[in-house]
Amino acid sequence: MRVTAKTSLPAVAAAVGAALRRHDITAVLTGGACASLYTGGEYSSVDVDFILSGRVTQARLGAAMAEVGFTREGDRYVHPSTSFFVEFPRGPLAVGSDHGVEPVEVAVDSSRTLALSATDSCRDRLAAFYHWNDRQSLSVAVKIARRHRLDLDIIRRWSIAEGHRERFEEFLAELDRDSTGP
């Protein structure tokens, strides 16, 4: 896939994920780009975050990224045709203190990539709300929950384990408020 100025954030993420896979690099889409995917673009980020699994040399990563037109600039990869950039935060793959996260394969247009599930993407946004009081992340978590069938029992148990039962209740109240209108 050719990345252009009109390529959406989820499409950029899927193109990068597919290129990484072609280079035998296991990477999981996380963060805001993953949330953008699950909100149908209602939320957008400026960066695409992938968590790498296993040992990956800089040369192999650079070759995969070059395949879709990205070059390394400092700690990120940039593309001349898009303002979206790609980063590879240090792993392991986790949501809060849960390191048992299982990625899923998602399709965007004709590309496929590994990503957090909708439930885990919601938890990822809730983690920002729980730990940094990021109200926008709460709003994004609600948007994900409105568009996808989530396992609320997993989110509840995880929220309690993270020490945020009250914040989980606030999430449920926002979700209920969002579904009933103003």
End position of a domain, from candidates 69, 94, 115? 115
Sheet with 104-108, strands from edge to edge, namely: 71-73, 76-79, 82-87, 47-53, 26-30, 111-115, 104-108
On the question of pLDDT at 176 being above 90, the answer is: yes
So what's the pLDDT on residue 1?
Answer: 77
Structural domain including 102 reads 9-115
So what's the pLDDT on residue 179?
Answer: 65
The radius of gyration computed from the CA coordinates of the chain, to the nearest angstrom, equals 17
So what's the pLDDT on residue 51?
Answer: 98
What are the backbone dihedrals phi and psi of residue 172, each rounded to the nearest 5 degrees, phi first?
Answer: -60, -40
In a domain, 75, yes or no: yes
End position of a domain, from candidates 87, 115, 143? 115
Q: Are residue 108 and residue 20 in the same domain, yes or no? A: yes
So what's the pLDDT on residue 62?
Answer: 97
So what's the pLDDT on residue 109?
Answer: 81
How many domains does the structure of the chain reveal? 2
**Beta strand ranges found along 80-141 (DSSP E):** 82-87, 104-108, 111-115
pLDDT digits (tens, 9 = 90+) for 85-135: 999 999 999 999 999 999 999 988 888 899 999 999 999 999 999 999 999
pLDDT digits (tens, 9 = 90+) for 46-100: 999 999 999 999 999 999 999 999 999 999 999 999 999 999 999 999 999 999 9
So what's the pLDDT on residue 112?
Answer: 84
Chain mean pLDDT for the chain: 94
So what's the pLDDT on residue 77?
Answer: 98
On the question of pLDDT at 182 being above 60, the answer is: no
Q: What is the mean pLDDT of residues 155-161?
A: 98
Q: Are residue 87 and residue 150 in the same domain, yes or no? A: no
